[in-house]
Structure formats: C-alpha cells, structure tokens
Amino acid sequence: MTRRNTKQAGDRSAAPAAGILAGIRVLDLTRNIAGPYCAMILGDLGADVIKVERPGSGDDCREWRPPSWHGYSTTFVNFNRNKRSLAADLDSADGQEIVRRLARRADVVVESFRTGSLAKRGLDYAQVRADNPRVIYCSITGFGSTGPLRNRPGYDPIVQAYSGIMSTTGEPGRAPARTGPSIVDNGAGMWCALAVLASLYARERTGEGSRIETSLLETGVAWMGYHLLGYLGTGRVPGPVGSKAVMIAPYEGFKTREGYLQLAAGNDQIFRRLCDVLEVRELQSDARFRTNADRVANRDALHELLEARFVARTAREWEDILLEHDVPCSCVRTLDQVAADPQVEALDMLPAVPYPPIPDLRLVNQAFQINGQRASRLEPPPELGQHTDEVLAECGYTAEEIAGLRREHVVG
C-alpha cells in the first residue's frame, strides 16, 4: 500500500526516490507518541522500522480514542506509518530472545521503557552493544536516566506542567493551559531522530555506534529557552502571555468585527507600514511607541489603540489589506479551514493514502523536503502483529518454531 510521492513541489506525476535511509534497520521498542514519532521520521526517510508490541493489546496509543477513524485511533494512525508490527511478549524468555536477535541485526534501537526495565530483560544498551558494537541505541524517558526523578513516569501534559510551559500558556488571570499539540512528545521524538541521523553520519567515519539519551523534561526545558534566559537575566518570572511574544510589540492577536487576527510587527519598518494602513500615523512619532522597546513597555496602551481600528472590519478583510502592504498577519483558522486550505494542498501536506480499512485516509506529510521529496513512502500503520511471521522468518526462525511460539503465546 505504497503511495507514489511528489518528486518536486506541485509535480504529482513524479515517481518516489529511495529514501536516504534505505537499508537502515530500526528496532522500535516504544509506545505512546515520542518514541513512535522518532521511529516514524526514520521510516519516512526510508528506514525499515520494526515496531515491537504487546500481543493482544499492542501500543497503548491504539486505544487512545475518540477521535477514531473507522474504528482506528487517529493518534495511533498519525504516529505509526511506514512500520512493520511484530507482537512479542517481552516478559518471556523466548520473547526477549526474539528482540535480542532483532537488535543484533539493527542499525538503530529506539526504546522508551522506564529506567532499568530493559536491563532486567537483558536488552539495555550495555547488553545490546556487546552483541552489536555498531548499534545506535536511543532511550527516551520521562525525567532522564539520572537524578532524583529518574524513575518518575512522564507524559506530555505532566512535563508541560513541570517544565513551566503551562505557566506561560493561556491568558492572564485564567487557569494554566496545555498547548493543543503534544509539543513535548513531538519535540523529544524530533531530538532523537536528529541525534540518530548525526550518529549514523559519525558511524560512517568511526565504525562505532552511539548511546543517545533524551527525556520529556529536557525537551520541555529546551522549549522554554528564551523565557528561562529572560528570568535569569532580569529576575522577573514570566506569566501567561496568551497570543503575545513578550519581547516584541505589536506581536499578538486582535479582536476584529468578526474573528481574531494574529499580527507580527517584528521590526520598526513593519510597524510604520501597519500605522499607515490603519491610518494612525501619529503613533509612529509617539514617544511611547518609537522603538520596539518602547512599544513592549507600553504594550497595553498600544493594543487598545490598534484594536479600536481593527474592530471596523473582519479578520479576513484585514488579512487581505495588510498582506497587500507587506504586514505579516493571519486570521486564526480552524482545522476544517486548514484541511481545505489551497496552500496546504499545494504543499501536499495531506495526501490520500490507499488503505481499505479507512477508504478516505489522508496522512499529515513530513514537514520538510529533501530534493523535492517529503516522505520517501507513505504506508498506512500496521495492524497489531501484522508482520510477525515475516519478521521472525527474516531472523532465522522456521515455520515450526514460529508455530510453537504462537502456541506458547510468546508472539501474536
């Protein structure tokens, strides 16, 4: 069920090229979002990804619904394309041996077990590396592998709270808010994919594998970088900022006659053009607003003056007018509008993928292109254990041995 991909932007007829990671084997021992996202990125780039799941239930994410699409969790569908699924019981000696065989053949192992869990199963970095010195072994934990919280479980909203993200998200005076997307999970997966690619490059020069570690906490703290430096530099603890950027003004949302408009006047020239369009040229020479630092210091007064103008038209009308004058802005769009957006379509960000269980399936494409190509292939997510026999045969198991493993409920 492979979909032909775009060779260059707008060219829907070009055939897909082999991914840059073709020939790389990835063993995916992760669940939920962060680890599966890392492995999916590698699969999008052409790697052969084998996802190991619990027999009977699989990745917890399979049951994260609603929303569902023809009975399938949309969260699972989003993070698990371009993979093969092997169902094996890692609590059994035979299941552990299966994974050891896979790890011996793997270029990359990605795991998201609690610290110490895989060591008990003979599958931690030291034991895997002893059999495969070239392996790139990547671990994702909630709070890191060292320190007093190394055994604490972590999920995206927990770490958004712990890392301070929620303290700056939402509107002043309202309850702390989690970001809509799982930015901590997604970010941890991206860091791991980046580190894996760097390690594969290093291995070409050294012949040695690598040990990669990251956590949801490290990701959350990294996302708070300029907020943390602002606190360290000034001693002031930032609070909720809503749609604002604390260091630039006007750089925020405005209420219009209909809908909200997000504005980004990132320099003095843009501010002057904005004043021209809104016919408030006197603000350009107002001592409160001459420089960005002045405008940040007097943000509330400036916001009130500008919003008094914005309520005269709709957000869509202002978007058209401001863009004609090179003032960056956007209406706040809803996802039904994004799904039907012509620019999103032009970028092939929501391609249709043949998949009989979900006849109208569309997937969110990769957010980057290499030589005009996004994902090297787009195969729908696997059914639980769909490739168990196939993968075991590749590892040297005979048909009789596979049947025996099934009888003992080691694989499913």
DSSP calls for 68-85: EETTEEHHHHHH--S-EE
- With 0-12 / 13-18 / 19 or more C-beta atoms within 10 angstroms meaning exposed / middle / buried, residue 325 is exposed
- Residue 266 corresponds to which tokens in the numbers above? 């990132």
Q: Name 85's bridge partners.
A: 51
> Cβ contacts of residue 139 below 8 Å, gap of 6+?
111, 112, 125, 145, 211, 212, 213, 214
CB contact burial 130-156 (16+ within 10 A = b; e otherwise): eebeebbbbbbbbbbeeeeeeebebeb
Amino acid identity of 158? I
Q: How far apart are CA 97 and CA 92, in angstroms?
A: 9
Q: Active site includes 131?
A: no
> Cβ contacts of residue 397 below 8 Å, gap of 6+?
405
Catalytic residue from among 11, 89, 185, 320? 185
- Residue 406 corresponds to which tokens in the numbers above? 């099934």
- Residue 235 corresponds to which tokens in the numbers above? 């001693």
Q: How far apart are CA 230 and CA 249, in angstroms?
A: 16
Active site residues: 185
